[in-house]
Structure 1
Amino acid sequence: MKETRMYKWIKKLGLPDYNSLYMKSIDDISWFWDEVVKELDIVWTQSYEKTVDLSKGIKYPEWFTSGKMNIVQNAVDKWADRDETKHSRALIWEGEDGTNISYTFEQLSKEISKAAVGLHSLGINKGDVVTLYLPMIPETVIALLAIAKIGAIFSPAFSGYGADAVATRITASGSKVLITADGYYRRGKIIPMKEEADRAAALSPTIEKVIVIERTGRQVPWINGRDMKWAELPKNESSFKTVETNANDPFMLIYTSGTTGKPKGAVHTHAGFPIKSAFDAGICMDVKRGDTLFWFTDMGWMMGPFLVFGGLVNGASILLYEGTPDFPEPDRIWQLISNHKVTQLGISPTLVRSLMKYGTEWVNKHDLSCLRAIGSTGEPWNPEPWMWLFEKVGKRLIPIMNYSGGTEISGGILGNVLLKPISPITFNSPIPGMDVHVYDENGSSVINQVGELVILKPFVGMTNGFWNENDRYESTYWERWPDTWVHGDWVIKDEQGFWTITGRSDDILNVAGKRLGPAELESALVEHPLVIEAATIGIPDNVKGETGVCFVVLTPGSNGNESLKKELYQLVVKHLGKSLQPQEIYFISELPKTRNGKVMRRVIKSAYLNQPSGDVSSLENPDSVEAIRALQEGKASW
């Protein structure tokens, strides 16, 4: 590991080891983030006077005061201006239909500049919001960087959203322009987007223009005067001068689903989200010039912008893929890695569980020797899929970099750094710069006990409040204990320094006074060879206060009978004891999930208890919710 960027950086800083770096990173946050921007070679058009100003309190830090920089200069233009990097690949794209396109940094810079000319000609100026409702195509990256180049703010919406969900985000942001596509390819079919975009625009009084990228060439409805084609935007070859922005000017507004009510708009700045993402990818995941980073995601999820800035700010290539990872054959994702020489791959535990069922022959067809690390985010692991990925895919040679944070964080809180031992399903360290602790209900730090994940110091990338809703921002993260960010994850830190996330704290079960993370029950269930995945919720119980109900998805063709159910109960008892066995186990065809693979336990719980489900706009499979409601009503059969 002496070849890693982190090891070399620690030696350059004159520190003896990783633990020394971590402790100094939280003891002296000004020193740390000053060193980070130096190591990342961040270019400033005006130098900053002070690394951090806390005069407004820990909730609202101002980073790099008086500094001026536009992230496009640091992500693309500086590489395009240097002879040694301008011909390096910056963006690689593969469509589900097999189409391939790539851009060098020089080519990408020119495309961004041309797009900026066109968008600016429509009246988009510094501070304006533009909504992106797009699939993973090259123009998505070009558009978001062109918007940032102008000094405007891009707001990405998940490509699978319906009109109401997109309109909610447009209205909340006050967006003037919507950029969409005619459609995209998924499992061999064209998924229409323009019609949904039209409905969203009709519900959004602030929208003045709808710009349409022609991905599929299909005929779409058109509103003259409002709609225009991306290809027909006014463009010229002259360079658009990047607008000088303050370090703390917003450049991205990204919405997260609220557990109840409307989504939350996380505000991110030019010197916030991109620097945190670039640090986590570059120093912690060892992404460097010449590498290729591929995270299987959507631009509407945090990991989409993370892919863009985590890769490009480090001078690496980024790979975008339009379709699904197992189409037309179950080896599509392994084929992508091999063909494009991916060095760092990002996936979710859910995706791994879905690929396991195909066996290892599809993996072994491809040369994956280019891979140096596999990142994982989105949800807690169970041991079996983690071991399958490590042993069958990585051949016990490739580290799995468990990574957990959030949209409001700009990256990770906990991770697996390459300079420490890695164990299955856990995290071996907080990310440097993140002052993380586990608190019990009294606000005391605890070890070997489930508690709330909290952060005690501000950090670069921390959301600059919620868009026009700072009261909500404060009540979401800062209300429980003074000057303490309560993230909402339930975790255990053991005596060896390994951290395990057991679930969201609002998902936690309290069975007869014992706190139980849903992942503990789920891991016991997925140990059974016929179980692909499981989800657990807690429901009220007169005796125990709360008890578990489990939902299990079986391998295709398996019979969910009473005999199998008995075996599953026995597995839980074996692992957790009889007192913690669930009240009921149900066999269902699929769990409610977002497109990026996150299981929505709160939606399962509300459906099962016949309660309002809050914001479910990010669900990929809403029919699964009705199937769960039917279980409780006794209408379903299994």
Structure 2
Amino acid sequence: MSQIAWVPQQEQVKKTKLYQFMKKHGFNDYSTFYQQSIRNIAWLWDEVVKDMGLVWIQPYRQVLDMADGIAKTRWFIDGKINVSANCLDRWVEDPAARHRLALIWEGEDGEVKKYTYRDLWIEVNRLARGLVQLGLKQGDRVAIYLPMIPENVIAMLAVARIGAIYTPCFSGFGAEAVTTRVNDCGAKLLITADGFYRRGKVIAMKEEADRTAELSPSIEKIIMVKRLGRECPWNPDRDIEWDTLMGSSKALSPCVTDASDPFMIIYTSGTTGKPKGTVHVHGGFPIKAAFDAGYCMDVGIGDILFWVTDMGWMMGPWMVIGALMMGSAMLLYEGTPDYPQPDRLWKIVDRYGVTHLGISPTLIRALMKHGEAWLSSYELDSLRAFGSTGEPWNPEPWYWLFEKVGKKKVPILNYSGGTEISGGILGNNLLQPVVPCGFSGPIPGMDADVLDEEGNPVRGEVGELVLRQPWVGMTQGFWKDETRYLQTYWDRWPNLWVHGDWVKVDEAGFWYITGRSDDTIKIAGKRLGPAEMESVLVDHPDVIEACTIGVPDSEKGEVPVCFVVIKETGKEKEPLSTELVRFVSERMGKALKPKQVFIVGDLPKTRNGKILRRVVKAAFLGKAPGDISSLENPQSVDMIKNLAKSCSK
């Protein structure tokens, strides 16, 4: 039975936007409301966009159309809407809202900038005019390769304002990774910076952008932001300084874009082959992101949303659009959350009064190893909710965040979905109890289920997470690759979206993700989600992080092999490795005993803290790892390869 850690107070519940929305439509009970939300999805999203007060250039005549099949569902038929106008113009036109704080930025070097809605609107209009003068047209693509600086937000909204399409690129990418995305979408412009700070070092970007332009025939111009003021190579025929491009601050009317017109192509790493360019439209991603932020997490006017992420990951654009569509403020931070000292994140939260802090379990594991002393200087009393996404939790860091940072008063809103979803499938909210590491269930409008191998619904055991109905925000496919999109999500069972997560619903109705279904290990017929074994390993006092993969075995089909990062205790690796094998066996049973536990210096992970098991497995088995452009620490892959070679000798 799940142990409930946090229960909402009734007076808190009544203040939430979700509760008020429910009451407006005659619902007192969340479960009844959720059932209605999936019984009539057209009703839900019709009422949501009305409740949000979205501005339609032309009203839609029909909420959704599935005439071409569920995989090709179209939303808000004949509706004309522009995301830039709904993030900015509707607030600027309101005298009570235009001077409200919209964006706070802090550089790693301590520099701070703040923008009101009107300030941001002016900058977006200036850049939009400059882009039009460069000849950028509706439907043209722009690659945004910028650090976490205000210009990143301005560029996104300016491109969308004129009806063009942007593709956000992770700031830590090298030229090859950016080139893959630029060439796939055929971007005409590349917006970059001279560089940024990370752990006190200058990270050059313009040179990588130059290499991208040399490898990308479609690039006509590079626009560069002077973040650092450093000397960079310059091509006067191609390169333009950001400040030079900025046009008049006179308002430029938003382009009349259809609800189904793309505004963003955001790439996800492929297990093999090239990354997948998920296409998102004006009447999709913005509404889903705003609903999840505003109704499920209760981000609203007066709040400050700070998600520790990068614009190259879905949670970056999600934070921008979720905050601005709900009339709140976002906080962007350029550097690493534990530099120059381990209290940097807590200092930022305290200084600016952050109300909603988004983190990953890996980030919390990294911060907790420094101890509680770094928290002692900060009240952190502005926090109303933690958001968490990217990977499954294990209990120790979950409790550390809840008890030591949130003082048992701040709920951890576990949130899981993906780039193709525009937000979450599963989540917690401020109306329902919260259990450690789990979810209260599917988010309103998300008709989720768990199926066994034969496609039958299951409870109490692990199965595939699927969606039975379409939802606002579902990707409109992969850019110029419809076949791959259909094969990836719609081919296994008729008219069911198969998400790729391995999920379990317990007897109390709480949901848990145990890992990706393609990471699942089958040991002599028994299925094991790798997160289960990883949770056991990180419960050992010497282990900081863990990763479990399945490797072929002649007797059992597959056996688990584990990799751990340990604390610096001075213990010898070989005896500790043997101890960890025994530790897991005692807790999980001999049938699930790992074949071996390897102690490594680091695990392959993205900047937002997600450990990539598929990369670990490929490296260990000597196979091609697929796209590893999102890795922050590619050297860790070579370490695992070398380890595998030494084992085979």
Give the TM-score band, short-chain normalised. Answer: over 0.9
Are 2:577 and 1:554 equivalent residues in the alignment? no
2:222 is aligned with 1:210: yes
The offset of 1:125, in angstroms, is 1.1
Map 1:96-495 onto structure 2 (within 5 A): 96-495=108-507
- Give the secondary-structure state (helix, strand or coil) at the position aligned to 2:70: coil
Moved more, 269-278 or 39-48: 39-48
Deviation at 1:575, TM superposition (A): 2.1
Q: Identity across aligned pairs (percent)?
A: 57
TM-superposed CA distance for 1:226, in Å, is 0.4
1:553-593: CA deviations, max 9, x gaps? 00134424333223322321232101101000000000000
Matched with 2:26 is 14
- The correspondence of residues 613-628 of structure 1 with structure 2, limited to 5 A, is 613-628=625-640
Moved more, 555-564 or 182-191: 555-564
1: CA distance between counterparts of 2:572 and 2:355?
A: 40
Amino acid at match of 1:120: V
Separation in structure 1 between the aligned mates of residue 498 and residue 38 of structure 2, nearest angstrom: 17
Does residue 88 of structure 1 match 2:107?
Answer: no
Separation in structure 2 between the aligned mates of residue 507 and residue 234 of structure 1, nearest angstrom: 48
Question: In the aligned structure 2, how far is the partner of 1:92 from the partner of 1:515?
Answer: 46
Report the counterpart of residue 81 of structure 2 in structure 1. Answer: 69
3-state secondary structure, aligned to 2:72: coil
Residue 234 of structure 1 and its aligned partner are, at CA, apart by 4.8
Amino acid paired to 1:468 = K
Measured after TM superposition, the shift of residue 239 of structure 1 is: 1.2
More moved, 297-306 vs 357-366: 357-366
Match of 1:607 in 2: 619
**Runs (5+) with no aligned partner, structure 1:** none
Amino acid in structure 2 at the alignment position of 1:548: P
Q: Deviations over 1:617-636 (max 9, x none)?
A: 11111110010011111179
Q: Deviations over 1:74-125 (max 9, x none)?
A: 1111111101111100011000000000000011111100010001110111
* Counterpart contact for 2:542–2:569, Cα < 8 Å: no
Structure 1 Cα separation of the partners of residues 612 and 570 of structure 2: 24
- Partner in structure 1 of residue 3 of structure 2: none
**2:155 counterpart SS class:** helix
Tell me, yes or no, if structure 1 residue 78 matches structure 2 residue 94: no
Q: Whole-Å Cα distance in 1 between the matches of residues 589 and 374 of structure 2?
A: 38
Over residues 407-436 of structure 1, what are the superposed CA-to-partner deviations in whole Å (9 max), with x where a residue is unaligned? Answer: 000000000122111100011110110000
Secondary structure of the 1:633 match is: helix
Number of the residue aligned with 1:520:
532
Conservation of the 8 A alpha-carbon contact between 1:560 and 1:587: no
Partner of 1:60 in structure 2?
Answer: 72
Conserved? CA contact 2:585–2:594, under 8 Å: no
Deviations 1:226-284 (A, max 9, x none): 00100110511211111111111100000000000000000000110010000000000
2:26 and 2:260 mapped to 1: Cα distance? 30
Change (3 A) 1:234 1:7: closer
In structure 1, what is the Cα distance between the partners aligned to 2:572 and 2:608? 27
Aligned to 2:646, what secondary structure does the other structure show? coil
Structure 1 equivalent of residue 42 of structure 2: 30
1:591 aligns with 2:593: no
TM-score normalised per structure 2: 0.97
Q: How many residue pairs align between the two structures?
A: 637
> Could you say what secondary structure the match of 1:384 adopts?
helix
Letter in 2 for 1:65: I
Matched residue SS, 1:59: helix
**Paired amino acid for 2:503:** V
Residue 223 of structure 1 deviates from its aligned partner by: 1.0
Q: Secondary structure at the match of 2:15?
A: coil
Aligned 8 A contact 2:577 2:596 in 1 = no
Given that 1:353 and 1:385 are in contact with CA atoms closer than 8 Å, whether structure 2 keeps it comes out as: yes
The answer as to whether partners of 2:105 and 2:150 remain within 8 angstroms in 1 is yes
The code of the aligned residue for 1:518 comes to P
Q: Which residue identity does 2:543 align to in structure 1?
A: V
Following superposition, the deviation at residue 461 of structure 1 comes to 0.3
| AA in 2 matched with 1:71 | V
What is the SS of the residue equivalent to 1:521? helix
> Structure 2: which 5+ runs fail to align?
1-12
Please report how far the alpha carbon of residue 364 of structure 1 lies from its aligned counterpart in structure 2 after TM superposition.
2.0
Residues in 1 aligned to 2:21 and 2:373: alpha-carbon distance in whole angstroms: 40
Give the distance between the partners of 2:573 and 2:605, measured in 1 at CA.
25
Letter in 1 for 2:620: Y
Q: Which moved more, 1:611-620 or 1:566-575?
A: 566-575
State the shift of 1:367 in Å.
1.7
- The secondary structure found in structure 2 opposite 1:172 is helix
Task: Note the alpha carbon deviations across 1:471-519, whole angstroms, 9 max, x for none.
Answer: 0000000000000000000111112111111111110000110000001
Measure the CA separation in 1 of the matches of 2:116 and 2:467: 39
For 1:339 and 1:206, locate their aligned partners in 2 and report how far apart those are by CA, in whole Å.
Answer: 44
Report the residue type matching 1:537 in the other structure.
I
C-alpha distance in structure 2 between counterparts of 1:271 and 1:242, whole Å: 15
Aligned-partner Cα distance in 2 for 1:597–1:89:
29
The 8 Å contact of residues 578 and 597 in structure 2, kept in 1 or not, is answered as no
Matched, 1:563 2:581: no
Q: State how far apart, in whole Å, the 1-side matches of 2:585 and 2:93 are.
A: 63
CA contact (8 A) 1:630 1:636 kept: no
Q: Distance in 2 between matches of 1:344 and 1:529?
A: 30
Cα contact 1:530–1:558 (8 A) shared by 2: no
Classify the secondary structure of the residue corresponding to 1:307: helix
What TM-score do the two structures reach when normalised by structure 1? 0.99
Contact 1:81 1:106 in 2 (8 A): no
The alpha-carbon deviation at position 15 of structure 1 amounts to: 1.1
Determine if contact 2:561/2:595 at 8 Å carries over to the other structure.
yes
2:555 maps to 1:539? no
Are the aligned partners of 1:121 and 1:234 in contact in 2 as well (CA < 8 Å)?
Answer: no
